[in-house]
Copies of this chain bind each other. A is one copy, B any other.
């Protein structure tokens, strides 16, 4: 439907029209944008069912452009400069002229029509992990290891008052647990009415500390960071429910082992039950259990899912707004992540979507048409498109373009959404879309809000040619997708030094149908310096289904490398790739892959740069590590084979390892153990570190890092 627009844009790309060469400063991203060269964007929000555009000065109607309220006006009413930008205002009540804002000291609601502050609540100094319930207006937060609630009336209640509230790292309340695995991102969960707060309590007193040294002090100091390594003693998590009215804590009567995982806490709409996805430490036996919120007693087990490799619950229940007995659930039990309709009274589970593709995200409901919205990659594994599934008709409708990678924000009743997407040839497009059933032409597009032009072209930069395609995996059957970035001023008669950029681990991908196939800024920069870049999502990566992912089970790295070698084979078949000058670069799992490739295929890759690598999975943490590798005790042969310590002796080419000196994720022991192994074996890797940085570098360090990575390839590959 929007084909014409795409064609028009496509004609403008693919060739280098400008003359300016990119600099690292031009392309270094914060987040995942191209910094100075990011396409224009719109910042949007919903006020009930009214779409808004937020700007630094205020908020206006997204379609009409009519001003709703200005920052200046809100500050005038507040009598202080509490609002710094329109981007930070929320409109919690769709039918009231109420703006909600906050600063470090308080959260307030301003009625801009009445011209008065209608509600205010203090925020204690140092309050972290703030979780505000819009219905009750109670605020949960943590200070150090403790958990508190400040009520709508401003009264502060201490939740963690069982005698262990010493603020130490040993016992932690109300924070994310299990190292953010299993979809866990936070530690507090308000009941829908905001009168009960479910929360995590994590006892990690029995977990070994990893020494992190802070050299920025007058005399370097150390912090022991609780880090449970694979096979070692792990932390123990309990779930409590705090009743604001009675100020009493009720603990869920969890069965199972103390180091089981309790994930994706979900409240029943009436707040009477709490649903928990429970998983054994071995991660192969998952149960969905309902608990009585009043007593903490187990009500019933709704579901059980087992798998010989592993089961990984990642999403909670999403109850139908019109039927409290049914909830949407996600599972990849049929081999692909799909949506299911679970009857929580009977435990019956009905599959809603199916096929050899995955649901990437559940977006919400259209309560009018009784539909649900999701992102899926049915039309192409690289895409993420918006679909509407009508639960009455069971008809699925594509909303918006059948290309690209979309993000959607639903209005209050879900009858409209704002779609913000890009595709390989569309830098960005923002559209207002109706989610209502229709049979008309271009039925769902209400309004095209923005079609961004190509800022690189606008500013006269040379743009490399970027393509995507597929090759067969090492299994000879599976399609793998790649992105190729050709050097600027590409001459097919020349031979170019080629760098493979790799990640390769689970829950991630590098190639998708975003603008320019998601080319990273650094790849463009390298292309301006005369390199060819190649990026292949091997088996083990995300959005391709369970079998594709789990082929790596108990021997991480091996299948992934085989697939990358297929990529190399493909590259070598291209006349313009210089097979004698192949490099590889990756970070984290990609650092593991890079180091592994350099040591496993020393005659293929001449130069590698590995960032924050895993070297031996026994130094990685319990949750992620044991899911894919089991424990060192269960799988000694796999740990041995997949360790890079034994491969250190094979290193022939130039390999630089770079790590954050205070990396809490891939702790420095990985890199340092590899160095020691190389030193003992007489091989010579190179090294760099960023003191004070963690697993990744940001800001100025990010640019410094990429200057460094580039220089290494310039030194040894060019």
- Contact residues of A with B, CB < 8 Å? 208, 210-211, 213, 215-216, 218-222, 224, 227, 229, 232, 618, 661, 667-669, 672-673, 675-676, 679-680, 682, 684, 686-692, 700-701, 703-704, 707-708, 711, 715
Note all chain B residues with C-beta closer than 8 A to A229.
Answer: 218-219
Q: List 8 A-B pairs, Cβ < 8 Å.
A: A210-B220, A211-B211, A215-B676, A219-B227, A675-B688, A679-B690, A679-B704, A687-B688
Contacts of A219 in B (CB 8 A): 208, 210, 227, 229, 232, 669
Do the beta carbons of A211 and B213 come within 8 Å of each other? yes
| Most central of A213, A661, A679, A684 by chain B CB within 10 Å | A679
Taking a contact as CB atoms under 8 Å apart, the answer to whether B700 and A679 are in contact is yes
Contact indicator B690/A675 (Cβ below 8 Å): yes
In the A-B complex, the 3 residue pairs with the closest CB atoms: A211-B222, A672-B691, A215-B672
State the Cβ distance, A234 to closest chain B Cβ, in Å: 13
A215 and B668 within 8 A (CB): yes
Given the known inter-chain contacts A211-B221, A222-B224, A682-B700, please indicate yes or no for A216 contacting B676, CB distance below 8 A: yes
> How many whole Å from A692's CB to the nearest CB in chain B?
6
The listed residue (B667, B682, B690, B707) touching A220 by CB distance below 8 A is: B667
Identity of the chain B residue whose Cβ is nearest the Cβ of A716 in the assembled complex: B715
The distance from the CB of A339 to the nearest CB of chain B, in whole angstroms, is 41
Chain B residue nearest in CB terms to A715: B715
Minimum CB–CB distance for A671 against chain B, Å: 9
- List B contacts of A701 (CB < 8 A): 679
Contact of A691 among B618, B675, B708 (CB under 8 A): B675
Residues of B within 8 A of A673 (CB): 215, 691
Q: How far is the CB of A536 from chain B (nearest CB, A)?
A: 30
Hey, which chain B residues are within 8 Å of A684, CB to CB? 704, 707-708, 711
Residues in B neighbouring A208, C-beta threshold 8 A? 219
CB distance from A179 to the nearest CB of B (A): 15
Given the interface pairs A211-B220, A668-B215, A676-B215, the reply to whether A688 lies near B686 with Cβ below 8 Å is: yes
Q: Enumerate chain B residues within 8 angstroms of A211, measured Cβ to Cβ.
A: 211, 213, 220-222
In whole angstroms, what is the CA distance A687 to B688 when docked?
5
A contacts with B: majority SS: mixed
Q: A218-B618, A219-B227 are in contact. List 13 more A-B contacts (CB 8 A).
A: A208-B219, A211-B220, A213-B213, A213-B668, A218-B229, A218-B232, A675-B689, A676-B691, A682-B700, A684-B704, A687-B687, A687-B688, A715-B715
- Complex formed: what's the CA distance from A684 to B708 in Å? 7
List B contacts of A687 (CB < 8 A).
687-689
Q: Inside 8 A of A220's CB, which chain B residues have their CB?
A: 210-211, 667-669
A661 to B675, CA, bound (A): 11
Q: How far is the CB of A160 from chain B (nearest CB, A)?
A: 28
> A690 to chain B: which residues have CB within 8 Å?
675-676, 679
Complex: chain B residue closest to A693, CB-CB: B679
* Chain B residues with CB below 8 A from A222, complex form: 211, 213, 222, 224
Q: What CA separation (Å) do A221 and B211 show in the bound complex? A: 6
Bound-state Cα–Cα, A661 to B689, Å: 13
Give Cα A654 to B53, complex, Å: 50
CA distance A690 to B667 in the complex (A): 17
Residues of chain B with a CB closer than 8 A to A215's CB? 668-669, 672-673, 676
Q: A692 contacts which chain B residues (CB < 8 A)?
A: 676
Q: In the bound complex, how far is the Cα of B216 from the Cα of A675, in angstroms? A: 12
Residues of B within 8 A of A224 (CB): 222
With A and B bound together, what is the CA distance between A216 and B675 in angstroms?
Answer: 12
Complex CA–CA separation, A219 to B670 (angstroms)? 11
A227 proximity list for chain B (CB < 8 A) = 219
State how many angstroms separate the Cβ of A625 from the closest Cβ of chain B. Answer: 13
- A50 vs B227: C-alpha distance in the bound complex, in angstroms? 65
Give the distance in Å from the alpha carbon of A686 to the alpha carbon of B715 in the complex: 13
Question: How far is the CB of A637 from the nearest CB of chain B, in Å?
Answer: 19
Q: How far is the CB of A474 from chain B (nearest CB, A)?
A: 34
Q: CB-CB < 8 A to A221: which residues of B? A: 211
A681 to chain B, nearest CB (A): 9
Contact B668 A680 (CB under 8 A): no
The residue of chain B having its C-beta at the shortest distance from the C-beta of A618 within the complex is B218
Query: Which of B213, B676, B686 has a CB less than 8 Å from the CB of A686?
Result: B686
Question: Within the assembled complex, what's the spacing in Å between the Cα atoms of A229 and B232?
Answer: 37
Chain B positions within 8 Å of A704 at CB level: 679, 682, 684
> A713 to B304, alpha carbons, bound, how many Å?
63
Q: How far is the CA of A703 from the CA of B224 in the complex (A)?
A: 35
Write the nearest CB–CB distance from A259 to chain B, whole angstroms.
Answer: 17
> Which residues of B lie under 8 Å from residue A703 when comparing CB positions?
682
Closest chain B residue to A231, Cβ basis: B218
Nearest B residue to A711 via CB reads B684
Residues of the B chain whose Cβ atoms lie less than 8 Å from the Cβ of A232: 218-219
A209 to chain B, nearest CB (A): 8
A700 surroundings in chain B (CB, below 8 A): 679-680, 682
Q: For A686, list chain B residues within 8 Å (CB).
A: 686, 688
Point out the residues of chain B lying under 8 angstroms from A668, CB to CB.
213, 215, 220
Residue of B nearest to A632 (CB): B218
For the complex formed, measure the closest distance between the CB of A654 and the CB atoms of chain B, giving whole angstroms. 9
Q: Which chain B residue has the least Cβ–Cβ distance from A705? A: B679
Q: How far is the CA of A64 from the CA of B18 in the complex (A)?
A: 91
CB distance from A365 to the nearest CB of B (A): 47
Instruction: Say how far A235's CB is from chain B's closest CB, in angstroms.
Output: 14
A656 smallest CB distance to B (angstroms): 9
Specify which chain B residues have a CB less than 8 angstroms from the CB of A210 in the assembled complex: 219-220
Whose C-beta in chain B lies nearest to the C-beta of A678?
Answer: B704
CB distance from A664 to the nearest CB of B (A): 13
Complex-state Cα separation, A211 to B209, whole angstroms: 14
Using Cβ atoms and an 8 Å threshold, which residues of chain B touch A669?
Answer: 215, 219-220
**Residues of chain B with a CB closer than 8 A to A711's CB:** 684
Neighbouring B residues of A682 by C-beta, 8 Å: 700, 703-704, 707
How far does the Cβ of A472 sit from chain B's closest Cβ, in whole Å?
Answer: 39
